[in-house]
Amino acid sequence: MSLEITFLGTGSAMPCPARGASALVLRREGQCWLFDCGEGTQTQLMRSHLRAAKITKIFITHLHGDHIFGLPGLLCTLSLQMSGPEACKAPIDIYGPLGLRSFLWRSLELSHSQLLFSYTVHELVPTRDQCPPEEFRDFSGLDEALPQGPPGRVLHLDPEEDCYVLLEDEELVVRAFRLFHRVPSFGFVLEEKPRPGKLNVQKLKDLG
């Protein structure tokens, strides 16, 4: 399995000319997975060797603006590109904290933006001990106000594993773990599954 990481932005709080806001791309088997999407991420993508149209999954660590303000714009740009050779854009799965679905739907609805591809938002329900008590906001009722919000799962913490299982295929498992920050935050772990070797142990023993 081939994995390649590209840092598009490592800054925090606000963008600057020489350092973009938080964004990282993992390229795997021809697909691009984006982790966080701060302001200016799509510009950074254009300066890189990556193709934004290859993004199939987006993971958001938390809902601070320097990690999500670039997301609606990126999705709109991907949609605009569909009139050209990228007309067969694959659906995008987006993972992030509870409230992300409402943020995206409202941003696109209020700006009269219509995407020409489908996207799914999978929300992670935080626990109250992930941030200072005075900073915790209960966003569990936001989706009820969305008449036609994007589909997706609501993921709860697995108390036995102390994590959220996001996806799994033959090669790896992706999990989210709780982090402590000023707002509920998550870290993401990609765990490659064991690959049994092909050594013939008995043959080696026979040969001494």
Q: What is the pLDDT of residue 87?
A: 58
Q: If we measure between CA atoms, which residue out of 6, 35, 51, 86 comes closest to residue 190? A: 35
Q: What is the pLDDT of residues 160-203, one digit of tens each?
A: 999 999 999 988 999 999 999 999 999 999 999 888 778 888 89
pLDDT, tens digit, for every residue of 52-95?
A: 999 999 999 999 999 999 999 999 999 988 765 555 667 899 99
151 pLDDT higher than 80: yes
- Note the pLDDT tens digit of each residue in 36-49: 999 999 999 999 99
Contact 82, 89 (CB under 8 A): yes
Assess contact for 95 and 57: CB atoms under 8 A. yes
Name the amino acid, one letter, at 89. K
Q: What is the 3-state secondary structure (H, E, C) of 52-118?
A: HHHEEEEECCCCCHHHHCCHHHHHHHHHHHHHCCCCCCCCEEEEEECCHHHHHHHHHHHCCCCCCCC
Q: How many CB atoms lie within 10 A of CB 38?
A: 26
Q: Look at residue 19 and give its three-state secondary structure.
A: strand
Mean pLDDT of 24-31: 92
* 1 pLDDT higher than 80: no
CATH number of the CATH domain containing 200 = 3.60.15.10
pLDDT (0 to 100) of residue 140: 87
Q: Which domain holds residue 34?
A: 4-206
Whole-model pTM?
A: 0.89
Return the pLDDT at 196: 79
Domain count, the chain: 1
How much is the pLDDT for 199?
Answer: 86
Sheet holding 164-168, edge to edge: 164-168, 172-179, 185-192
What are 109-129's pLDDT values in tens digits? 999 999 989 999 999 999 999
Q: Which of 102, 96, 36 is nearest to 65 (CA)?
A: 36
Active site residue 66: yes
Looking only at the bridges linking them, the beta strands covering 23-28 and 3-9 are antiparallel
User: What is the structure's pLDDT at 90?
Assistant: 77
Selecting among 36, 66, 93, 143, the annotated active-site residue is 66
DSSP classification of residue 45: H
pLDDT (0 to 100) of residue 56: 94
Residues 6+ apart with CB under 8 A from 113: 72, 75, 76, 79, 107
Q: With bands split at pLDDT 50, 70 and 90, how would you rate the model's confidence at 25?
A: very high
Which residues are CB-contacts of 24 (< 8 A; sequence separation ≥ 6)? 5, 6, 7, 8, 9, 34, 35, 36
